[in-house]
Structure 1
Amino acid sequence: MSSRFEIGKADFLLDGKPIRLLCGELHFARIPREYWAHRLKLLRAMGLNTVAVYLFWNRHEPHPGKFDWSGMADAAAFIKLAQQEGFLVCLRPGPYVCAEWEMGGLPWWLLKKKDIQLRSSADADYLAAVERYLKEVGRVLAPLQLPHGGPIALVQVENELGAYGTDRPYMEAVRKFLLAAGFTDVPLTACDWSSNFTQNALPGVLSTVNFGNSAERNVAEFKRKRTGDGPVFVSEYWSGWFDHWGKPHETRPIAGALQDLGWILDNGGSFSLYMTHGGTTFGPWAGAGGPPYDPIVTSYDYNAPLDEAAKPTEKYHALRALLAKWQPDGKPLPAIPEPLPVIAIPEVSLTERAPLFASLPRAIRAEKPAAMESYDLGFGAVLYRTTLPAGPEGVLKLAEAHDWTQVFVDGVRVGVLDRRRNQSTLRLPAREKPAQLDVLVEAMGRINFGRGIHDRKGLVGEASLDGKPLMGWEVFPLSWGESPLAGLRFSEKAPTEGPAFHRGSFTLTQTGDTYLEMKGFRKGMAWINGNALGRFWHIGPQQTLYCPGCWLKKGKNTLVVLDLETPTRATVVGRTAPILDELVVDLSQRHRKPGQTLRLEGLTPTHTGTFGPGGEWQEARFAAPAKGRYLCLEALSAHDNSVYTTLTELELLGPDGKLLPRSAWKIAYADSEELIGESGTADNVFDLQPVTFWHTAWSSDKTAHPHQLVVDLGSEQTVTGIRCQPRQDNDHGRIKAYRVFLSTTLFPGL
């Protein structure tokens, strides 16, 4: 039966009658296909009537012109299931989606063009690829629009482009491609933040807004800036947040969400809960923040109402009680589906090994190393091999090693370079004769947000020894995207040290979901019966991998683990609950090194001022332009009189009054950061995320004002002013009085 879905003056209209969208985001690519119906029933029982669905372009077009709509990529099957459960669907096809997914959903092969301009109207090749993709999306999904008997009621044009830049012609092009693909019978939308949605707004496309707190203020700002009528649709209300390797597990309390969602409903709005159920970013698909580079964990639990395995949480029950009041005609909610079985698995020993260096493909010879994409490789790692001359100790420099690099000399590991720390050099030992240099570079996920999405992997820059380029390489592309290397030869007699695949088996009499504890291993990926579970890393906070029961079988099961280091014990245990918050704290992540104390005595501030109260952006212009490479923001007091400083985003104005680019910025110093109780790292002040912030230490080592943050701008800049976004969820630690210093050289004491 076909229906009409329209945008009225103040409401969405279904067959001419007002309807409130009680929407939940669900990513079918993060859920085993066998569980799709179960997850949808849980959303229905929560009180939702609409499902928001992202498409991940790189999942559907793994190679140019070759499309995949099978298995967990079968979007049409998922959308039809949603319809069977009584949902409308908000389709969000991209081409870019973010979603903490590899490259924001853009396919890696776009980066094979060296000067590609992603998300831009200026690149004809990029636009041609987008047009081909959206035409294919239309072929598969346009017949499922509501007027044709399907459930698709809204289709989104691109995603949060305002956080990337201003390019209205690009938005026009994407809209044109969607219309040409057949999405002509339902309204189009475009989402962004309340602070930037006007940058790329299009007439005839409904603007929607994303945020994670302060609903009344965000909606008021949105309504004040938008032109024309239409319903208020909070297209993403962030129910939680995602985790990064080496940082504390993120949680968000339920009280704020209940207050915000209640206010939205009381004031005539609609919402989509991002996420309602996050699931798992299986295989190689987890993305990364940055710059600075900040890889995201495998679990997409998101502290959502339904946890990683779709177990209802306290948030679920609280929101269900709220939404029960908004059901049409007071209709009771469906019963909550029975949980899926969960099992424990006794300790499994992985006794067989296939050393990585003994399983290499045929070498490619090259004078200089190049990025992974140039070898037609999207995921995995690249081993670069050359011969070092005899000589004394020397400094190896890898200008851009993306992302986690191990260096071996004659088979012995001599060091690790971690892109998260901006590490690029290490000292090589003296050599009495020529020696083999192996550089193993693992790709950990491409940046999924901001300008950093042009994120090539492997050795992107020059490799040199004591300043002299190293030439004459053998290159071994190693692919372990969704399945291990073919032709592995396992043996219990293989060496126990060094990068290797480890294999073991176990027998089950019954199946069920479980969580594989990976603490005995160090860093790598795992596969169960050929299904890719995802990445693990001993640093945490995630210490288990979710293993769906539908991927297990009665009888023999085979587990393969790739450990890029040497495991402390090659065993795995299947637990009945996840471990997502066990962080191996590395205090060297702090931006204050031992012995550092910033000294500002005798220096003249570039600017002194006072920020106003509240959560709005604060802007101050300097009395005169100032030049410098290093900027120090010193917080002298807080509006709530606390000893802490918090700051969400820091921006600088250039000589033309426009914002300076931040892609080259690095934190040079922070007097205090909270890294244990929460992720209060100073890097958060330029991560483009409105819900993360720098927070000075509170779980230990509390210190009073003043608090200082020093940013290396990458090169000397002319600065005319400063913009700061205070902490958004509450007023704790918001900066009141402050000083700004600019210097061409690093400040004294650093």
Structure 2
Amino acid sequence: MKNWFSWLTAVVTLIVLITSCKDGKGSKGSFEIGDKTFLLNGKPFVVKAAEIHYTRIPAEYWEHRIKMCKALGMNTICIYAFWNIHEQKPDEFDFSGQNDVAAFCKLAQKHDMYIILRPGPYVCAEWEMGGLPWWLLKKKDIQLRTNDPYFLERTRLFINQMGKQLADRQITRGGNIIMVQVENEYGSYATDKEYIAHIRDMVKGAGFTDVPLFQCDWSSNFTNNALDDLLWTVNFGTGADIDQQFKKLKELRPNTPLMCSEFWSGWFDHWGRKHETRDAATMVNGIKEMLDRNISFSLYMTHGGTTFGHWGGANSPAYSAMCSSYDYDAPISEAGWATEKYHILREALAAYMPAGEKQSEVPEAFPVIEIPEITFTSVAPLFDNLPQPKESTDIRPMEQFDQGWGSILYRTTLPEEVKEGTSLVITEVHDWAQVFADGQLLARLDRRRGENVVKLPALKAGTRLDILVEAMGRVNFDKAIHDRKGITEKVELVSGDTSAELKNWKVYSFPVDYGFVKDKAFKEGSKQDGPAYYRATFNLDKTGDVFLDMQTWGKGMVWVNGKAMGRFWEIGPQQTLFMPGCWLKKGENEIIVLDLKGPEKAAIRGVNKPILDVLRQEVPTTHRKEGQTLDLSKEKVWFAGSFKPGNGWQEITFEKPMKIRQFCLEALSSQDGKEVASMAEFYLLGSDGKPLSRQHWQIGYADSEEIKSGNRTADKIYDLQESTFWQTVQGTPYPHTVVIDLREEQTVSGLRYLPRAEQGTPGMIKDFRVYGKMTPFSY
């Protein structure tokens, strides 16, 4: 009987082991909030998390990247879940293959890594529309990230689907999820605790009830929406004054575990701006400082990866789309390589391993190959391959034609003769447009520069007018996420005081689906002057990771073996596209390129290193024309004052309000007595004392902007990112001036100023003067 019982016990144990292996689960545990510490299975635990995104890594490489994070000395993987990639059409959910988030979590558990889940619904992440689905914008009056009933209904459906995938993967149920986030950095969007409570309740309702729920924000705004029953964490970047970042949180919750839920290792790249990097030693010093104080952290990003296809987002104001590479200057490069920053960090984290444990070995990188030049001899001009049109009396945005991404062509005929010099005014172009008359290119318009007017030549009645608009990434931050694509309002002919709206449009949609792209009438040919698809094949004896060199091409997208690799744009700084070897094959491979502008040479080669820092800027990125100097000698000083030294926001109220369109801040001196001035964020206060919207602001002038060592132009003062800043050039003495064009009449009663977050607030302004007027300043 005893032997039989032992045999039965062994069989049951074996069944449990087999089942747990099949489910990717282990023994049940716990993760809780203790007194000034997290508790893992009842014992103090410091979270050392590596943020990586499963959608930005080929599924075939997930395990490699997880092992790279573990070899650093991390114990947790932090992930966003991107609603819009899982529900690309309403009620059609996809959690398979590249989207199999549960499989990703199982792989992490296989390597003894915990998971912090951040399901949104909004995630930012420099991702298309911050992770929200484009089809929400089909509802004209929708208010995203609010208590809008339709938005909440759709959010609940998505969060419930996340629960079906992952709720049983909480640590209490044998999985590895130890924390779940509620919304994301909402304090930078609005103040609405009721909304946050709704999202919290949805997360709980989806089954995430066994582990701590938390909300993350910046130290300057985390109290705006802080709920009593959630854990509060703070986000900040390398070089930040860590004591200052946690000061308020420690005052409000002296016994809470402290965590930097996003410690920014680098930064993301924009088309047309300098490649971003951050200092490795500064990053490591910040991590060591936190670990020495028992502060948990998540390194955003530990591995950025690639924003494949059309999924890159954009910032606003001013509109600026993201590159396809999400390298982020992270410790693990876009291709999964261990960088110098990786090795410096790994060496530092070796001192913080649990007693008796050592870091695992760094896995080898995947093989890299080169591909000889591929010449394209098959071409399909876009205007010769038009799909079936839809007809519309009025201009409507892309979403109203049930199109989410890609390009859209608006076509009409001119009802009357147009005189030379007449303006074609497009309200608004989202995001890059080409205007043609009877097939001849008249102009290109770029939303980044606020371009929306074309001066027309003389045109006959009946002339065919084509406006081809490429949708770049939807804005992923602040209220501008209501970012409809195509032409959003109307097209007018304006001459003098008269205007006439153009009507009766034929509309052609060009989506990014491979099925649409491949179905073209390719014919023999090479370089085209206008928009066209190009197709070629190439043969490989062996596969490996490679970088497609796009330096001879204009602007568009690339597909290889049916997979959308990403966007390219000649302006840079990114000039190559990462091509994972796992998506190549021995023998014949297919490549298709859509170039909306036209290449210098229709050829691509595969190189063994990325090119992420070659910028071909068509116009200066600074806000001061050559020889231009602001003249304030005849202007009235509206207010003079001084900022107090120290980190954090400062608010100044003017003695009396002023009605203005143009605002000038003249910095007279610095707190440290040096020549450099800097500013992280800046607001003007309205007549009610609340911050005015900055969505349409433009920098009219800045006397000095540092662009050699980083992107430190004056528009950083309203880019909604507290870790970016305007900085003047070393050796340029005070005073320093910046002029803001508000673009509408506003009543201004004061200002808010945020210096840089680093200890000592380098470049912080001391004494200043304020000017304001309705008309432009003199230069």
Normalising TM by the smaller chain, what interval?
over 0.9
Query: Which secondary structure state, in structure 1, belongs to the residue aligned with residue 683 of structure 2?
Result: strand
Query: Which residue of structure 1 lines up, in the alignment, with residue 549 of structure 2?
Result: 517
- Distance (Å, rounded) in 2 between the aligned partners of 1:445 and 1:69: 23
Moved more, 360-369 or 516-525: 360-369
Deviation at 1:693, TM superposition (A): 1.1
Instruction: Choose the corresponding residue for 1:725, options 737, 754, 765.
Output: 754
Query: Which residue of structure 1 lines up, in the alignment, with residue 777 of structure 2?
Result: 747
Contact 1:585/1:676 (<8 A) preserved: no
Contact 1:287/1:447 (<8 A) preserved: yes
- Distance (Å, rounded) in 2 between the aligned partners of 1:481 and 1:158: 30
- Distance (Å, rounded) in 2 between the aligned partners of 1:381 and 1:103: 17
Query: Which residue of structure 2 lines up, in the alignment, with residue 555 of structure 1?
Result: 587
Residue 491 (str. 1) matches residue 523 (str. 2): yes
Listed as ranges, the matches of 1:196-595 within 5 Å are 196-212=221-237, 213-227=239-253, 229-388=255-414, 389-393=416-420, 394-466=422-494, 467-481=499-513, 484-493=516-525, 496-594=528-626
Deviation at 1:520, TM superposition (A): 0.8
Query: Which secondary structure state, in structure 1, belongs to the residue aligned with residue 466 of structure 2?
Result: strand
Deviation at 1:482, TM superposition (A): 6.0
- Distance (Å, rounded) in 2 between the aligned partners of 1:305 and 1:181: 34
Query: Which residue of structure 1 lines up, in the alignment, with residue 39 of structure 2?
Result: 13
Deviation at 1:748, TM superposition (A): 2.1
- Distance (Å, rounded) in 1 between the aligned partners of 2:122 and 2:459: 49
- Distance (Å, rounded) in 2 between the aligned partners of 1:95 and 1:678: 32
Contact 2:527/2:600 (<8 A) preserved: no
TM-score by length of 2: 0.94
Query: Which residue of structure 2 lines up, in the alignment, with residue 613 of structure 1?
Result: 645
Residue 737 (str. 1) matches residue 767 (str. 2): yes
- Distance (Å, rounded) in 2 between the aligned partners of 1:77 and 1:8: 30
TM-score by length of 1: 0.97
Listed as ranges, the matches of 1:64-79 within 5 Å are 64-79=90-105
Deviation at 1:225, TM superposition (A): 4.9
Listed as ranges, the matches of 1:624-643 within 5 Å are 624-643=656-675
Contact 1:373/1:456 (<8 A) preserved: yes
Instruction: Choose the corresponding residue for 2:66, options 32, 36, 40.
Output: 40
Contact 2:376/2:526 (<8 A) preserved: no
Deviation at 1:63, TM superposition (A): 1.0
Query: Which residue of structure 2 lines up, in the alignment, with residue 647 of structure 1?
Result: 679
Query: Which secondary structure state, in structure 2, belongs to the residue aligned with residue 391 of structure 1?
Result: coil
Letter in 1 for 2:566: G
Moved more, 401-410 or 654-663: 654-663
Query: Which residue of structure 2 lines up, in the alignment, with residue 96 of structure 1?
Result: 122
Query: Which residue of structure 2 lines up, in the alignment, with residue 55 of structure 1?
Result: 81
What is the identity percentage for the equivalent residue pairs of Structure 1 and Structure 2? 49
Query: Which secondary structure state, in structure 2, belongs to the residue aligned with residue 173 of structure 1?
Result: helix
- Distance (Å, rounded) in 2 between the aligned partners of 1:692 and 1:437: 42
Query: Which secondary structure state, in structure 1, belongs to the residue aligned with residue 223 of structure 2?
Result: helix
Letter in 1 for 2:439: G
Deviation at 1:481, TM superposition (A): 4.9
Query: Which residue of structure 2 lines up, in the alignment, with residue 129 of structure 1?
Result: 154
Alpha-carbon deviations, 1:560-598, whole Å to 9, x = none?
111001100011111111000111133443322356432
Moved more, 350-359 or 293-302: 350-359
1:703–1:325 distance in 2 versus 1, CA, 3 Å? closer
- Distance (Å, rounded) in 2 between the aligned partners of 1:569 and 1:663: 39
Contact 2:430/2:447 (<8 A) preserved: yes
Contact 1:462/1:469 (<8 A) preserved: yes
Query: Which secondary structure state, in structure 2, belongs to the residue aligned with residue 672 of structure 1?
Result: coil
Query: Which secondary structure state, in structure 2, belongs to the residue aligned with residue 315 of structure 1?
Result: helix
Contact 1:284/1:482 (<8 A) preserved: no
Deviation at 1:426, TM superposition (A): 1.1
Listed as ranges, the matches of 1:82-161 within 5 Å are 82-121=108-147, 123-161=148-186
- Distance (Å, rounded) in 1 between the aligned partners of 2:530 and 2:86: 35
- Distance (Å, rounded) in 2 between the aligned partners of 1:490 and 1:396: 34
- Distance (Å, rounded) in 2 between the aligned partners of 1:39 and 1:453: 31
Letter in 2 for 1:378: G
Deviation at 1:180, TM superposition (A): 0.9
Deviation at 1:258, TM superposition (A): 1.4
- Distance (Å, rounded) in 2 between the aligned partners of 1:710 and 1:481: 44
1:729–1:484 distance in 2 versus 1, CA, 3 Å? farther
Contact 1:653/1:721 (<8 A) preserved: yes
Residue 167 (str. 1) matches residue 199 (str. 2): no
Structure 2 spans left out of the alignment, 5+ residues: 1-26
1:225–1:200 distance in 2 versus 1, CA, 3 Å? farther
Contact 1:198/1:226 (<8 A) preserved: no
Deviation at 1:74, TM superposition (A): 0.6
Query: Which secondary structure state, in structure 2, belongs to the residue aligned with residue 325 of structure 1?
Result: helix
Deviation at 1:486, TM superposition (A): 4.9
Alpha-carbon deviations, 1:45-102, whole Å to 9, x = none?
1100001010000011111111010121110000010000101100000000000000
Instruction: Choose the corresponding residue for 2:733, options 704, 708, 711.
Output: 704
Letter in 1 for 2:538: F
- Distance (Å, rounded) in 1 between the aligned partners of 2:633 and 2:548: 54
Contact 2:527/2:598 (<8 A) preserved: no
Contact 2:313/2:474 (<8 A) preserved: yes
Query: Which secondary structure state, in structure 1, belongs to the residue aligned with residue 85 of structure 2?
Result: helix
Letter in 2 for 1:196: N
Contact 2:244/2:647 (<8 A) preserved: no
Contact 2:526/2:602 (<8 A) preserved: no
Letter in 2 for 1:402: H
Query: Which secondary structure state, in structure 2, belongs to the residue aligned with residue 255 of structure 1?
Result: helix
- Distance (Å, rounded) in 1 between the aligned partners of 2:315 and 2:326: 14
Count of matched residue pairs: 745
1:330–1:322 distance in 2 versus 1, CA, 3 Å? farther
Letter in 1 for 2:109: Q
Deviation at 1:440, TM superposition (A): 0.5
Query: Which secondary structure state, in structure 2, belongs to the residue aligned with residue 329 of structure 1?
Result: coil
Letter in 2 for 1:747: F
Residue 690 (str. 1) matches residue 722 (str. 2): yes
Letter in 2 for 1:505: T
Contact 1:647/1:695 (<8 A) preserved: yes
Deviation at 1:18, TM superposition (A): 0.9
Query: Which secondary structure state, in structure 2, belongs to the residue aligned with residue 626 of structure 1?
Result: strand
Alpha-carbon deviations, 1:480-525, whole Å to 9, x = none?
1566535211111477221011111211111110111101101000
Deviation at 1:744, TM superposition (A): 1.6
1:484–1:322 distance in 2 versus 1, CA, 3 Å? farther
Moved more, 482-491 or 621-630: 482-491
1:218–1:528 distance in 2 versus 1, CA, 3 Å? farther
Contact 2:377/2:526 (<8 A) preserved: no
Deviation at 1:461, TM superposition (A): 1.8
Query: Which secondary structure state, in structure 2, belongs to the residue aligned with residue 373 of structure 1?
Result: helix
Deviation at 1:215, TM superposition (A): 4.3
Letter in 2 for 1:38: H
Deviation at 1:226, TM superposition (A): 3.2
Moved more, 382-391 or 592-601: 592-601
Letter in 2 for 1:211: F
